[in-house]
Structure 1
Amino acid sequence: MTQTLTLTRPDDWHLHLRDGAMLQAVLPETARDFGRAIIMPNLVPPVVTGDQAAAYRERILAALPEDMSFEPLMTLYLTEDTDPEDVAAAYASGLIKAVKLYPAGATTNSASGVTDFDKVRAVLEKMAEIGLPLCTHGEVTDHDIDIFDREAVFIDRVLDPIRCATPDLRVVMEHITTSNAADYVRSQDKNLGATITTHHLIINRNHILVGGIKPHYYCLPVAKREEHRLALRSAATSGDVRFFLGTDSAPHIDPAKESGCGCAGCFTATNTMPLLAHVFEEEGKLENLEKFASQNGPSFYRLPENPETITLVKSEAAAKFPKKIHSDDGPVTVFDPGFDIYWAVAN
């Protein structure tokens, strides 16, 4: 017996496409299901100016297969040298939809991020003035802070002071991983949203470490205790307009993951929508999947919902997903939830 679920075509509000051969390989995996995505700017070198964002957008569109439709929503990488007027001009032109804050050293290719937040005050004030959202990688990088506490400390030391100093700034807490973050979002009355990844709804830190290290479950922010995973599930499936999908799908070739100093990131673009259907069904909240994946994100970014739809089909036989995506740089392992999934996106 089959079951179908038709949704407004979803968007991904946090996506890594990389560049070059990797871009060519992974872009179709997102464009197959998603209408738009917020594109992360942490290339090497990072995308810090409007001209660089325009050039990157052209490379993305050039890599898009002719039979697919997809809109990349560009962002700028915030540095201590970012020019407020360049940011404002890029936003006014329609080129960018957000600016990304990486605390220096927090994750992949974040060395150019912010250390002294006073040096970006003028940019944040300009963004508040024009209504441009700030996307935050919400972790501190102080060596005395335990890696599992970085998000909670970021809220207290960085995010809340920024929001108090610039209350009109619209902020997205990206890839939240703790009950602390979910509770903070709920405690605020305006200008704050949060993305939640697919993999943080499925794995906790035991999945990474128990029975041997699982490099393809290693991500940043790192997965936390089970109580936090359950809090994320509650937030994502609640229908609350402040929570929406940002996969943080982050491709790395297998040798870079399976090494003595493995890269952080889970590649979920290929099977996110079936995985989410499974999660929302387990929680008894399938009726809220469309809000999380297709409606709440456009609402926060003040964009229209996609006019198209997709249909998910649940069958008695387990769905088959590719184990790897092949690029000219090397293979990329697709996120494996560790259990059978019976949902698939209809062709």
Structure 2
Amino acid sequence: MSTTTRLTLRRPDDWHLHLRDDEMLKGILPSTSENFGRAIIMPNLVPPVVSAKDAKAYRERIMAALPEGHDFTPLMTLYLTETTDPQDVAEAAKSGLISAVKLYPAGATTNSQSGVRDFENVSNVLEKMAEIGLPLCVHGEVTDADVDIFDREAVFIDRILDPMRKRFPQLKVVMEHITTKDGVDYAKSGGDNLAATITTHHLIINRNDILVGGIKPHFYCLPVAKREEHRLALVAAATSGSPRFFLGTDSAPHRDERKVCGCGCAGIFTAINTMSCLAHVFENEGALDQLEAFTSLNGPAFYGMAANERTIELVKCDAPVEFPSHIHTGDGSVTVFDPGFPLHWKAINNPS
């Protein structure tokens, strides 16, 4: 076990974040903006963020909700549909308004009904993105009814992702929230135009945590957590220092009545305690020296951005760090992820 009790890291970024909108946005944004410098913002609102005009308006709403004194930059994305205009995408990227486009297979997760059904219908957009170097963020699951939910990531890689990358070899692709050893292995072998994000919760929970002893709705997410062997593969990838892997929390708030019900929503809210959770995981692996690469360096490098200049301190405390069990918003109460063990690492922002 490491004897380290204090770490200084470049300020982290979150390369996959759900902020929602309106009162929920106002309530949960501070949990990210307090410790993170930037975040890739998911566009699956209702209605989704499908155009440059939509992205500009959403960015303005985020900045209006930002607490005074918080230094945070939302990195906007567009929701890829079969009617997306390649020129609108190119102009939004050139202006700096967007940093990526998000691919949801239709029906794969929350608010994905407007996603892609026929991939041939988005080939013109993918071709333009490859030409201009704009990354494609991929929710990597098939939605075929005959494919087991625990196999949907591996099948997506074989049926969709690998053929797509062979057709558009210059396209930069981020495999978001990978959950399997298959995803880890594919990301490792994919070359410089391929990377993968890993969530906080997928480093900590497996499918037993969802199902054993009764269903735990606050551990339900998509992609769903897999077997322990897959969790261990994710931990090994995240703590390896490989530039192919970086943090995307997929922190996804839902008010509690939408989680604890007959058909609960997928999503786990981890924004507020992610850095404490990650420090615990990396310390257990004897890899605290790789935490900065995973949270603060690899993501900016893949996206062609500079790392944050400001730093944070992670301090190991004797007593467990206390986090609220819920975040109370004007849209309802949101349960905070409980990792199942005490957290002793506390994040402290350094002044600019």
TM norm structure 1? 0.99
- Following TM superposition, by how much is the alpha carbon of 1:346 offset from its aligned partner in structure 2, in angstroms? 2.4
Aligned mates of 1:127, 1:328 — CA distance in 2: 38
CA contact (8 A) 1:2 1:315 kept: no
Counterpart for residue 156 of structure 2: 154
- Following TM superposition, by how much is the alpha carbon of 1:187 offset from its aligned partner in structure 2, in angstroms? 1.2
- Following TM superposition, by how much is the alpha carbon of 1:224 offset from its aligned partner in structure 2, in angstroms? 0.1
SS state at 1:346 partner: strand
SS state at 1:55 partner: helix
- Following TM superposition, by how much is the alpha carbon of 1:341 offset from its aligned partner in structure 2, in angstroms? 1.1
Q: Which amino acid aligns with 1:235?
A: A
SS state at 2:122 partner: helix
Counterpart for residue 92 of structure 1: 94
Is residue 2:304 matched to residue 1:302? Answer: yes
Q: Which amino acid aligns with 1:54?
A: K
Mapping 1:134-149, distance limit 5 Å:
134-149=136-151
Alpha-carbon displacement from aligned partner over 1:196-215 (angstroms, at most 9, x marks no partner): 00000000000000000000
Q: Which amino acid aligns with 1:115?
A: R
Is residue 2:211 matched to residue 1:209? Answer: yes
Alpha-carbon displacement from aligned partner over 1:194-242 (angstroms, at most 9, x marks no partner): 0000000000000000000000000000000000000000000000001
Is residue 2:69 matched to residue 1:71? Answer: no
SS state at 2:225 partner: coil
Counterpart for residue 188 of structure 1: 190
Counterpart for residue 243 of structure 1: 245
Aligned mates of 1:273, 1:306 — CA distance in 2: 16
Aligned mates of 1:166, 1:2 — CA distance in 2: 45
Aligned mates of 1:194, 1:53 — CA distance in 2: 24
Counterpart for residue 126 of structure 2: 124
Counterpart for residue 328 of structure 1: 330
CA contact (8 A) 1:2 1:316 kept: no
Aligned mates of 1:230, 1:249 — CA distance in 2: 21
Alpha-carbon displacement from aligned partner over 1:257-280 (angstroms, at most 9, x marks no partner): 000000000000000001000000
Alpha-carbon displacement from aligned partner over 1:277-322 (angstroms, at most 9, x marks no partner): 0000000000000000000000000001111000011011111111
Say which is worse superposed, 200-209 or 188-197, in terms of deviation: 188-197
Say which is worse superposed, 309-318 or 291-300, in terms of deviation: 309-318
Aligned mates of 2:191, 2:331 — CA distance in 1: 45
Mapping 1:210-229, distance limit 5 Å:
210-229=212-231
Counterpart for residue 346 of structure 2: 344
- Following TM superposition, by how much is the alpha carbon of 1:148 offset from its aligned partner in structure 2, in angstroms? 0.2
Identity %, equivalent residues = 71
The size of the alignment, in residue pairs, is 347
Q: Which amino acid aligns with 1:20?
A: D
Counterpart for residue 6 of structure 2: 4
Q: Which amino acid aligns with 2:209?
A: H
Counterpart for residue 178 of structure 2: 176
Q: Which amino acid aligns with 1:233?
A: V
Q: CA RMSD in A?
A: 0.9
Aligned mates of 2:36, 2:324 — CA distance in 1: 18
Among 28, 31, 35, which residue is 2:30 paired with? 28
Q: Which amino acid aligns with 1:308?
A: R
Alpha-carbon displacement from aligned partner over 1:140-181 (angstroms, at most 9, x marks no partner): 000000000000000000000100000000000000000000
Counterpart for residue 231 of structure 1: 233
Structure 1: gaps of 5 or more residues: none
Sort the Cα spacing of 1:121 and 1:312 in 2 relative to 1 into closer, same or farther, 3 A: same
Aligned mates of 2:128, 2:68 — CA distance in 1: 38
Aligned mates of 2:4, 2:168 — CA distance in 1: 50
SS state at 1:72 partner: strand
Aligned mates of 1:246, 1:104 — CA distance in 2: 21
CA contact (8 A) 1:2 1:313 kept: no
- Following TM superposition, by how much is the alpha carbon of 1:190 offset from its aligned partner in structure 2, in angstroms? 2.1
Aligned mates of 2:17, 2:191 — CA distance in 1: 27
SS state at 2:36 partner: coil
- Following TM superposition, by how much is the alpha carbon of 1:188 offset from its aligned partner in structure 2, in angstroms? 1.6
Mapping 1:12-51, distance limit 5 Å:
12-51=14-53
Aligned mates of 1:315, 1:305 — CA distance in 2: 27
Is residue 2:308 matched to residue 1:282? Answer: no
Structure 2: gaps of 5 or more residues: none
- Following TM superposition, by how much is the alpha carbon of 1:189 offset from its aligned partner in structure 2, in angstroms? 1.9
Q: Which amino acid aligns with 1:38?
A: I
SS state at 1:326 partner: strand
Runs of 4+ in 1 over 4 A off after TM superposition: none
- Following TM superposition, by how much is the alpha carbon of 1:2 offset from its aligned partner in structure 2, in angstroms? 8.2
Aligned mates of 2:277, 2:262 — CA distance in 1: 30
CA contact (8 A) 1:104 1:110 kept: yes
- Following TM superposition, by how much is the alpha carbon of 1:67 offset from its aligned partner in structure 2, in angstroms? 1.4
